[in-house]
């Protein structure tokens, strides 16, 4: 019995240690993404300043940029005119930050050891965007004051509400204006700052900005659009499922999407391909249609219809067994 208790306790300790490592890894990933996003925002703010100075754009400048970026990234909320203005203010608050030598890309080294030199100023990239916007609003172009509150936020794991409280009580003026270097470390795992960073909606928005999607992401996006299109037709399409399992010989296969058309009284197999049309896709779709006819379709149903959608939109083809 004592051995079992010992093993059980060791196992519990191990599970606790694994969960702690996992939370730390999650937090490092969130901090890294947050940093990349804010560096992008800073650079976009710099570009906006340069464009405005060069071309003397009027009041509709931000609306134009916002609309053009939304045409390219229709699902991204970060490119509102208001947020674009904050990106400009962000650059103007710290115009020299990215012109100085930067820390390395290794987030573990970057965040877990004492830093030197410009690390206080690099710290602006390690608090959430919402925190930065509050500091921008309250510090009105005073970068020394802004950096003071950035440092205090990181040192004390402040939530945005706590930060606002100290901004409103003039902590900077009461504690003196000297701002010194400090050790740039990960936020405490369960702190308000860590929670804000891992749940920041801007961070999730930024994650969809990658230009090069892997194939699964691209396929998922195409499937979502195809599903929405068919459901909005209002012509009797009923959604039956995604990744529907069928058997082809001794092999297990999965149909991208399966619908039932209540007007035609037939199943509709939908296959989505991320590349240009290839004749092999037609053969695969035909195989799935036959399988549905034999494994899912009832005697009362009409023959199954196959729909193939490729990334090149001219490649919509229907197959009927």
For tokens 């969960």, name the residue: 19
pTM value is 0.56
**Rounded CA gap, 94 and 136, in Å?**
10
CA 247 to CA 295: how far, in whole Å? 8
Say if residue 277's pLDDT is above 60. yes
Distance in angstroms (rounded) separating the CA atoms of residues 91 and 77: 20
* Topology of the domain comprising 215-320: Trna Endonuclease; Chain: A, domain 1 (3.40.1350)
> For the purposes of burial, counting CB atoms within 10 Å of the CB of 35, is it exposed (0-12), middle (13-18) or buried (19 or more)?
buried
pLDDT tens, position by position, 172-226: 888 766 666 666 777 777 677 777 777 777 766 666 654 344 556 666 777 777 7
Domain boundaries, the chain: 2-207, 215-320
φ, ψ dihedrals at 294, nearest 5°: -90, -30
Give the Cα separation of 260 and 243 in Å (integer).
Answer: 15
For the stretch 182-213, what's the b/e string if a residue is b when 16 or more beta carbons lie within 10 angstroms of its beta carbon? eebebbeeebbbbebbbebebbebbeeeeeee
The whole-number pLDDT of residue 312 equals 58
Half-sphere exposure of 59 (CA within 13 A, CB side): 0
Higher pLDDT, 285 or 29: 285
Give per-residue pLDDT as tens, 45-104: 999 998 877 666 666 889 999 999 988 888 788 899 999 999 999 999 998 876 544 433
User: Could you give the maximum distance between any two Cα atoms of the chain, in Å?
Assistant: 84
d(CA 173, CA 43): 31
Nearest Cα to 259, choosing from 244, 239, 245? Answer: 239
Predicted local distance difference test score (pLDDT) of residue 96:
80
Instruction: Identify the pLDDT of residue 47.
Output: 92
In what helix (H) or strand (E) does residue 267 lie, and over which residues does it extend?
strand 266-273
Strands 302-310 and 317-320: antiparallel
The pLDDT of residue 197: 73
Collapsed DSSP state (helix, strand, coil) of residue 142: coil
> How many angstroms separate the CA atoms of 319 and 307, rounded?
7
Tokens representing 181 are 């270097």
Binning the chain into helix, strand and coil, the percentages to the nearest 5 are: 55, 15, 30
């Amino acid at each position: 019995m004592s051995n079992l208790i010992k093993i059980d306790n060791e196992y519990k300790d191990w599970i606790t240690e694994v969960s702690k490592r996992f939370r730390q890894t999650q937090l490092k990933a969130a901090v890294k993404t947050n940093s990349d996003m804010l560096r992008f925002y800073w650079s976009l703010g710099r570009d906006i300043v340069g464009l405005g100075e060069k071309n003397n754009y009027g009041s509709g400048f931000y609306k134009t940029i916002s609309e053009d970026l939304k045409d390219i990234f229709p699902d991204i909320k970060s490119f509102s005119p208001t947020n674009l203005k904050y990106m400009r203010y962000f650059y103007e608050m710290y115009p020299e930050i990215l012109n100085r030598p930067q820390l390395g890309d290794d987030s573990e080294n970057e965040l877990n050891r004492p830093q030197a030199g410009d690390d206080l100023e690099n710290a602006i990239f390690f608090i959430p965007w919402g925190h930065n916007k509050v500091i921008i609003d309250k510090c009105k172009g005073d970068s020394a004051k802004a950096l003071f509150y950035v440092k205090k936020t990181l040192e004390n794991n402040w939530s945005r509400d706590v930060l606002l409280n100290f901004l409103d009580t003039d902590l900077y003026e009461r504690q003196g204006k000297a701002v010194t270097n400090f050790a740039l470390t990960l936020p405490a795992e369960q702190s308000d700052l860590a929670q804000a960073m891992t749940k920041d909606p801007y961070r999730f928005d930024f994650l969809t900005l990658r230009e090069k999607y892997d194939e699964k992401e691209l396929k998922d996006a195409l499937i979502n659009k195809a599903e929405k299109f068919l459901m909005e037709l209002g012509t009797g399409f009923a959604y039956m499922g995604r990744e529907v399992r069928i058997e082809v010989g001794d092999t297990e296969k999965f149909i991208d999407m399966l619908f039932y058309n209540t007007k035609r009284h037939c199943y509709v197999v939908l296959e989505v391909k991320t590349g240009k049309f290839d004749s092999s896709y037609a053969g695969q779709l035909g195989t799935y249609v036959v399988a549905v006819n034999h494994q899912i379709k009832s005697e009362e149903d009409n023959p199954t219809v196959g729909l193939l959608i490729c990334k090149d939109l001219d490649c919509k083809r229907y197959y009927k067994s």
